[in-house]
Structure 1
Amino acid sequence: MRALALAVTAVLAVAFAPSAQAAGPRLHLTAGGTPDQPRVYSGGGQSVRGIDVDADWVVVDGFTLDRPSAPGVEIRGNHVTLRNTRITAPQGGDGDGIRFFGDYLAIEHNTISRTSNRDGAHADCMQTFSSDSPPSNHVRIEGNRCEKIDNMCLMAEGPNDGEGDGKGHTTDFLIKDNFCETLVASQTLMFEDVQQATITGNAFAAGPDHAIGLAIHSTGARVEGNRVDPSIPCELGIDDSSREGYAGPEPACAP
Structure 2
Amino acid sequence: MRALTTVPVLLAVLLAIPAVLTAAAPAAQSAGSRLHITAGGTPNHPRVYSGGGKHVRGIDVDADWVVVEGFTLDRPSAPGVEIRGDHVTLRDTTITAPQGGDGDGIRFFGDYIAIQHNTISRTSNRGGAHADCMQTFSSDSPPSNHVRIEGNRCEKIDNMCLMAEGPNDGEGDGKGHTTDFLIKDNFCETLVASQTLMFEDVQRATITGNTFAAGPDHAIGLAIHSTGARVEGNRVDPSIPCEVGIDDSSREGYSGPEPGCDP
Same fold (TM over 0.5): yes
Q: Secondary structure at the match of 1:230?
A: coil
Structure 2 residue 195 is matched with structure 1 residue 187: yes
Q: Tell me which of 126, 141, 155 is aligned to 2:149.
A: 141
Question: 1:45 and 2:53 equivalent?
Answer: yes
CA distance in 2, matches of 1:210, 1:160: 24
Q: Deviations over 1:109-132 (max 9, x none)?
A: 000000000000000000000001
User: Which amino acid is 2:107 matched to?
Assistant: R
Contact 2:57–2:74 (CA under 8 A) maintained in structure 1: yes
| Alignment-mate amino acid for residue 70 of structure 1 | A
Shift of 1:14: 2.2
Structure 2 contact 27–50 (Cα < 8 Å) conserved: no
Alpha-carbon distance in 1 for matches of 2:204, 2:45: 29
Deviations 1:131-167 (A, max 9, x none): 0100000000000000000000000000000000000
Matched residues, number: 240
Aligned mate of 1:16, from 14, 27, 47: 27
Matched residue SS, 1:246: coil
Question: Is 1:217 paired with 2:225?
Answer: yes
Answer 1 or 2: higher relative contact order, Cα 8 Å, separation at least 6: 2
Structure number, greater radius of gyration: 1
Specify the alignment match of 2:85 in structure 1.
Answer: 77
Distance in 1, Cα, partners of 2:207 & 2:61: 26
Q: Secondary structure at the match of 2:249?
A: helix
CA distance in 2, matches of 1:37, 1:25: 27
Q: How does 1:226-237 map to 2 (within 5 A)?
A: 226-237=234-245
Where do 4+ consecutive residues of structure 1 move more than 6 Å? none
What is the CA distance between 1:15 and its match in structure 2?
Answer: 2.8
CA separation in 1, counterparts of 2:216 and 2:229?
A: 20
**Alpha-carbon shift at residue 71 of structure 1 (Å):** 0.1
Give how far 1:91 is off.
0.1
> Which SS does the other structure have where 1:241 is aligned?
helix
> Distance in 2 between the 1:16 and 1:118 partners?
32
- Give the TM-score normalised by structure 2: 0.90
Aligned pair 1:103/2:111, yes or no?
A: yes
Match of residue 58, structure 1, among 63, 66, 70: 66
